[in-house]
Homo-oligomer: A and B are copies of this chain.
């Protein structure tokens, strides 16, 4: 028997069935036109942001990393909640525009920006977080050719990483950003060349659940920003402190103590060195803002027994939930939080594996876990599906196509 991940707080049941913001799961499925379906809760997005605002320093900007969930209605909802958006491609630029977001609020990071992407960003006045000397040069050239000024920040490859992070983005040789020791020269070059100098983007890792690790990283990030500002010899207009705030996915994971992180950051902000006194700071979060607000609903289409093991086969799968299947950057597969949505209150009574409809042994949604007895037609809920779900899965694989998506 393998344990399941912890179901995020905030979900209830009505008549024994999972309810999301007061709506029965089965009603949402009907409204969306069927399963598989991603449901995102507007209320949970707002509550998460409200708690974060209280915990964090008042003058800290909170930006949303679009890559975590680019669904149009989610972007539109986030536009009323956050202070800025980080994008990773011209495709994401088009998505934020479609959601009515001002380009002034947008910054663009990513190691492989094409010239046409740089040109679009410069044309619209989006901040470019440049990832190399070569990219800075290309951006300056494009801006000069177009008679515009490029707003440039430098993405820094810091000399430290985020401890316990699921995804390290700093420390050692990396394709992201400019090694810290080369940043001052590049910044001075940008300023000399007439670029609009916007500051630094320092991103050390993602998906950390340890407040202490985040506090240490934010502290190192502020130290690095102060040191680099001094070496550049110009105040930093802006500094993106990165993200890294994780959410619990797996058995034993404990939620991040966001109040502790915020208290430490408030203490640091109260004693900033003079060179950072005028700097505007932000953090950039994706998964932390939207991950727990999403549920993936799929229907059981077969119940079968093989060599004594029970399999519940659903109409969903890794083509929508690659990470939950354990096949996206995971070494050891562990179970996400998963429940029988249509029997949400029923006690667990049998061990079963929940699998997707794809014809591959990789398509596991929950392995050998305890569930109430479920039958064909029952709904299954995969929680923590709000980030890196629909858009980070191979939706064309085996021809089933994309899932429905709904913001309630």
Contact = CB atoms under 8 A, between A and B. Distances in A.
A50 interface: no
B359 A88 contact: yes
B306 A179 contact: yes
Contact of A359 (B109, B302, B356): B109
Contacts of A91: 398-401
Contacts of A313: 111-112, 131-132, 175
Contacts of A179: 306-307
A114 B301 contact: yes
A134 B304 contact: yes
Contact of A167 (B111, B173, B361): B361
Nearest to A179: B306
If over half of A's interface residues share one DSSP class (helix, strand or loop), that class is named, otherwise mixed; here it is loop
Contact of A362 (B90, B133, B329, B360): B329
Contact of A357 (B110, B169, B303): B110
Given A114-B301, A176-B361, 15 more contacts: A70-B399, A88-B359, A92-B398, A92-B399, A110-B357, A110-B358, A110-B398, A112-B302, A132-B304, A134-B304, A167-B360, A168-B361, A173-B309, A175-B311, A175-B313
19 contacts: A67-B398, A89-B398, A89-B399, A91-B399, A91-B401, A112-B314, A112-B358, A113-B302, A114-B357, A131-B304, A132-B313, A134-B303, A134-B304, A167-B362, A174-B306, A176-B359, A328-B362, A329-B362, A331-B331
Interface of A: 66-67, 70, 87-92, 94-95, 109-115, 131-135, 157, 167-169, 172-176, 179, 301-304, 306-309, 311, 313-315, 317, 322, 327-329, 331, 353, 355-362, 376, 390-401
